[in-house]
Structure 1
């Protein structure tokens, strides 16, 4: 089944500076998550699970790895109209520069969208972690005869000051909007929410950056070239003129905007009952099928560990950590509160011998790694200590960066034996 009423547009975001250095060599949607997936797999999987299989991904920075991932992952029948296409910013006679914002990205790509028949454009973010049935949101949009729908999530007063906040009436129609309100203004911005949300003090409706626009309205709004952003300009300017529905979502949702939130989202997967459920058969997360061997573990104590396929592990202990595909961890090493992304390819014994590789990809022997993110293809020598925490100041070198106490070892970096941080 394909929902032919809907065309999905996933916004890949800008340069991703807040996720630096993970975005140094790749676009934000291509950042590896949960050991074997990439961020873009989340909204694409939500679409597929909602029978929406005509999907554009908009990006402009370092899009080669994203292109490669999507080309190798999302294959549909030749006899189907389904597709996932990457649209990178391109120069045309009308557009000479980069995307200037979320709305400008859609505007510059409109000539690709209007070639397709659709009634509704579903606009999504490429850097959020959640599992949502868009079919229900579209049904609510149709039932309300809405022209725009905005997915909203109830938040508490502390979080409300960081979001665009909606005020909705009893019929969930948005009546007003304020961007990142001051705490003193909040008493006037409560909305009707479920009893469960009230009990948690979550009385404010925050925009999730997920929108449905009727086709004709979107085309009309895109004609105004002075507006470049949905959240800051188009939504505040249009809610009084067009019927705008607040679609309340109460499940798990997090915006992966910076290193701290990215780290917490990944480490959260090690909880006994994670808020983000990778084991839900009806809400599967799809990714590239790699045909990797099973993981081999020798003499390792595991506690709250998520281990991807194809790993060779001889560590003494791994706790509260996510270990990515093809990871290698040497004897007597301890890995704690760490996200290790793994590697893109194995090093064969012949390669090691011919190239005289001294430090292999992965973590060497007798290492202690805590509060860290190890990007793809890192080489950590023997007897290395890396212990992140609030005692460390933010800094950046050629091989690592420290942000909010989290040590990020850069993609492909080599950390020499005996290094201590």
Structure 2
């Protein structure tokens, strides 16, 4: 499949309130993940690995850091037609509103897309973790003579109520669709997901929010100003009128919808055989190439921990944690079940040794457990952060507690001896 026939459109999502405070100063696709990447790197990398190299990213909230990341990261040959462009919501003479939903975002940006030559629009979400060959989905779309294809994943009954659930006929044509069904309705929505999936109770086909539209149909559907959302309106209305097919995917996929799922997805990378494989040559995840020194570790016990570039670590023990770029952890500190995002820059040495300044990173003799430390946090000496279900949800100037996870805000300063 030639990528020249496909145009990719990545939806940056709305305000990202469920990922707050990580989205307080940045859009959801710009949230750092796995210690050195950003969420948007995942769909972009999947596209590049599938030879799809004309990519638009749609966003409207806090898009400055996303713009900067994409501008600094994705450079293609001057002699190719490849690009990754950010389109922020813009007011025009014919439109003065923000994006009202996923379909409205595509509608408002349509004049940018139609100036390109393509047969198929691949519409992706900017906040999912997965590795997928889109060529296989495009090939199935063409083989089925589909007008719309929806990537689907088998899920269990517990998860089914959070997704759009659909049913198909024997040829994978979608016959019905329901958005986030109530638990009592689920018995009517089981599907033949295959023996392997049914053995583990994954009896429902959920939409992954990944779509392929034929160019002409997408243009036609976008002419109706009353439909704002793909999942709630466009897809259900199209099932009766158009050839809509399911493309069943059975690999690892997770929706980074809230702090809990974000935390689990990151710490899952420390497993011996992580479900999301960053070490696969064929499915490289690309990101901003930083010229950082090697990481230096002294006197530290490390267990089930991944450490990014440019760190200086003198901690006593780090266990089941992800340590991001340029992180500094001082002597005798213990870090458990924590995602430390790292820093955007190095502090001058005179600040680090100044007893009157709380240095960036984690100070000496700290105990940090069940936490997310956003970029550029300054955590003093003898600080104790012990997250867990015993902590009620709350917010202060420097940190937020969600589902027992303590999230220290970007650039926050936590003074010596502070206890959470």
TM-score relative to the length of structure 1: 0.98
User: Does the Cα contact within 8 Å between 1:60 and 1:99 map onto a contact in 2?
Assistant: yes
Structure 2: distance between partners of 1:197 and 1:214: 30
User: Does the Cα contact within 8 Å between 2:58 and 2:87 map onto a contact in 1?
Assistant: yes
1:200 aligns with 2:208: no
Classify the secondary structure of the residue corresponding to 1:4.
Answer: helix
How far has the Cα of 1:189 moved from its partner? 1.3
1:174-232, Cα deviation, whole Å (9 max, x unpaired): 00001111222222212221211011111110000000000000000000000000000
Q: Note the 1:108-119 alignment, pairs <5 A.
A: 108-119=108-119
What is aligned with 1:310? 310
Classify the secondary structure of the residue corresponding to 1:178.
Answer: strand
1:161-184, Cα deviation, whole Å (9 max, x unpaired): 111101001100100001111222
Structure 1: distance between partners of 2:222 and 2:171: 28
User: Does the Cα contact within 8 Å between 1:170 and 1:192 map onto a contact in 2?
Assistant: no
Structure 2: distance between partners of 1:323 and 1:99: 35
What is aligned with 2:276? 276
User: Does the Cα contact within 8 Å between 1:2 and 1:82 map onto a contact in 2?
Assistant: no
User: Does the Cα contact within 8 Å between 1:5 and 1:117 map onto a contact in 2?
Assistant: yes
What is aligned with 1:372? 371
1:70-96, Cα deviation, whole Å (9 max, x unpaired): 000000000000000000000001110
1:187 aligns with 2:190: no
Structure 2: distance between partners of 1:402 and 1:153: 31
Classify the secondary structure of the residue corresponding to 1:217.
Answer: helix
How far has the Cα of 1:351 moved from its partner? 5.4
What is aligned with 1:105? 105
Classify the secondary structure of the residue corresponding to 1:386.
Answer: strand
User: Does the Cα contact within 8 Å between 1:2 and 1:53 map onto a contact in 2?
Assistant: no
Q: Could you list the runs of 5+ residues in structure 1 that have no partner in the other structure?
A: none
1:280-305, Cα deviation, whole Å (9 max, x unpaired): 10001000000111000000000000
User: Does the Cα contact within 8 Å between 2:351 and 2:359 map onto a contact in 1?
Assistant: no
How far has the Cα of 1:2 moved from its partner? 6.0
How far has the Cα of 1:358 moved from its partner? 1.2
RMSD: 1.2
What is aligned with 1:261? 261
Which region of structure 1 is more displaced relative to structure 2, 129-138 or 174-183? 174-183
Which region of structure 1 is more displaced relative to structure 2, 74-83 or 268-277? 268-277
1:16 aligns with 2:53: no
Structure 1: distance between partners of 2:30 and 2:356: 28
How far has the Cα of 1:356 moved from its partner? 7.8
What is aligned with 1:165? 165
Q: Which runs of 4+ in 1 moved over 3 A?
A: 350-353
CA 1:312–1:236 in structure 2 vs 1: closer, same or farther (change >3 Å)?
Answer: same
TM-score relative to the length of structure 2: 0.99
Structure 1: distance between partners of 2:99 and 2:42: 23
1:97-153, Cα deviation, whole Å (9 max, x unpaired): 110100000000000000000000000000000000000000000000000000000
What is aligned with 1:389? 388
Structure 1: distance between partners of 2:324 and 2:85: 26
